[in-house]
Amino acid sequence: MTDQSSHSLLAWQRIALGLAIAALLIFCLAPIFWQFLTSVKVNADIETTPNIYFPSRYTLSHYTELFARRPFWNYLLNSGFISIASTLLCLAIGTPAAYSLTRQPVPSKNIILGVILIVTLFPYILLFLGLLEIARAFGLGNNYLALIVPYTAINLPLTILVMRSFFQQLPQDLEDAAKIDGYNIGQMLLQILLPLTLPALVTTGILTFIFAWNEFLFALTFMTEEALKTIPVATAQLSGASQFETPYGPIAAATVVGTIPLVVLVLFFQRKIVQGLTAGAVKG
């Protein structure tokens, strides 16, 4: 093969790769872009058939209506509090558990790890009826704990597995040196090991946060008071002026508002997320 033909083949490969990336971006971002456009369209353009993809008139009335008609700031705060609390609990419980399963002589360690792996593959929706009975028995209806505890339990196995894979990469000599310097296990974990596993902490924390923020069924069932509802439930229950009207504009605006915190969070921690997914989650 001549140099000219090899250069031509390389150029076509780059073009094909660029087209594939562009197609993937359009496929992933088109629904988000459509929701945003719907949120800023006037009602006449939303209801027009055929659809107006790029309107000439724009409005922010759907956003103002969203916060004027419903306590949407409360929904944001509820989702934020529940998501942050469950994420912190997952990391606080899962990290020491992962370290113990990595370095400490835990009896039946392989069996425990096998059970944890099975639990990560278990559809959490099958836990719904059992959790409902527990919530009734302990009177946890319309209580933040009714969501924080299940979210923590559901995401805890993933936290343990990801953190364990990172702890396995750390050299044992580092821990031996810390013990010689007088560090106990708690001090060594907090002051030495956790800073080294920050990508794993961020990765598992982001995944836990996103799950808790987006979860719908448990939040719909356990939180019936208006002041305690979360973003997904409040968005699904938006109603129009009459029972025959679907408020597409406010629903789209609520979707955009509920997505912005997740986008900001992922963009802020994107490097740590990539490090966690590529370094920690594929080894061990």
The radius of gyration of the chain from alpha carbons, rounded to an integer in Å, stands at 24
pLDDT of residue 10: 74
Distance CA 210, CA 158 (A): 13
What Å distances lie between residue 157 and 41, 88, 137, CA to CA?
43, 14, 25
pLDDT in tens, 218-259: 999 898 888 899 999 998 888 765 555 678 888 889 999 999
Comparing C-alpha atoms, which of 48, 80, 41 is closest to residue 63?
41
pLDDT of residue 111: 87
CATH class in words for 67-280: mainly alpha
Does 197 score more than 90 pLDDT?
A: no
Distance CA 278, CA 189 (A): 23
* pLDDT (average), residues 163-170: 84
pLDDT of residue 83: 94
- Confidence grade of residue 282 (pLDDT, cut at 50, 70, 90): very low
Domain boundaries, the chain: 3-39, 67-280
Does 283 score more than 50 pLDDT?
A: no
pLDDT more than 70, % of the chain = 90
* pLDDT (average), residues 158-169: 86
Higher per-residue pLDDT: 154 or 11: 154
Comparing C-alpha atoms, which of 103, 197, 125, 195 is closest to residue 159?
197
Does 179 score more than 90 pLDDT?
A: no
pTM of the model: 0.84
* Residue 6 burial (10 A CB sphere; 0-12, 13-18, 19+): exposed
